Structure 1
Amino acid sequence: MKTATIPPVRVDPAFREEMEQSLQGSETLAALVEVSVRNEIERRKTQAEFVRRGMAAIQETVARNNGIPAAEMIAELKQMLAAARQRQQA
């Protein structure tokens, strides 16, 4: 399979200088850009999966009608926080 190129991106000269200064060892600017793009794509996939699972959980809770009212959950979390703070001070 042939390789393809990433479209060139115009940046401020100061930013390019920062990028070049951040290179490690024999790393090239192209390698830094490729790794950065790959990492961002993976982060976006992970974020999308997180949102998908959250939406599915919400739909399941609504369908089963077994959710906890927000005010009740917030009160419980406040109690947990107060207990944790008390343990930390002891």
Structure 2
Amino acid sequence: MKSCTLPAVRVEPELRAELEAVLGEEETISTFVADAVRRAVDFRRVQTDFHARGEAAWQDYLRTGVSHPVDEVFDRVQTRIDARRRELQGPGT
């Protein structure tokens, strides 16, 4: 796939100086900006999915009237977190 160019962004000289001061040894402003845009797009996608799931859950509640106590939900989430933690730690740790 052929690459394309993002529009130029005007910033204050102070911000550019701060950016240059935090760049890695082999990092360029272009790679920094491309990475920042990638992360922002990923964040927006996750945020949009989160809102869609919340809206679907709300509509489901309005349709059915069925809800779950917060303690039950927290317990289920904690159980999943604990199981994943054990899975990541592996045997013998």
| TM norm structure 2 | 0.70
Instruction: Please state if 1:11 is matched with 2:11.
Output: yes
Calculate the aligned-residue CA RMSD, in Å. 1.7
* 1:1-90 correspondence runs (5 A): 1-67=1-67
Structure 2 residue runs without a partner (length 5+): 72-93
Distance in 1, Cα, partners of 2:40 & 2:60? 30
Distance in 1, Cα, partners of 2:66 & 2:25? 56
* CA positional deviation for 1:2: 2.1
Consecutive aligned runs of 4 or more in structure 1 exceeding 4 Å deviation: none
Give 3-state SS (helix, strand or coil) of 1:27's partner: coil
Distance in 1, Cα, partners of 2:37 & 2:4? 14
Find the structure with the greater CA-based Rg: 1
* CA positional deviation for 1:65: 1.2
* CA positional deviation for 1:6: 0.6
| TM norm structure 1 | 0.72
CA shift digits 1:8-45 (9 cap, x unpaired):
00000000000011101110000000000000000000
Distance in 2, Cα, partners of 1:3 & 1:45? 21
CA shift digits 1:32-75 (9 cap, x unpaired):
0000000000000000000000000001111111237xxx96xx
Aligned residue pair count: 71
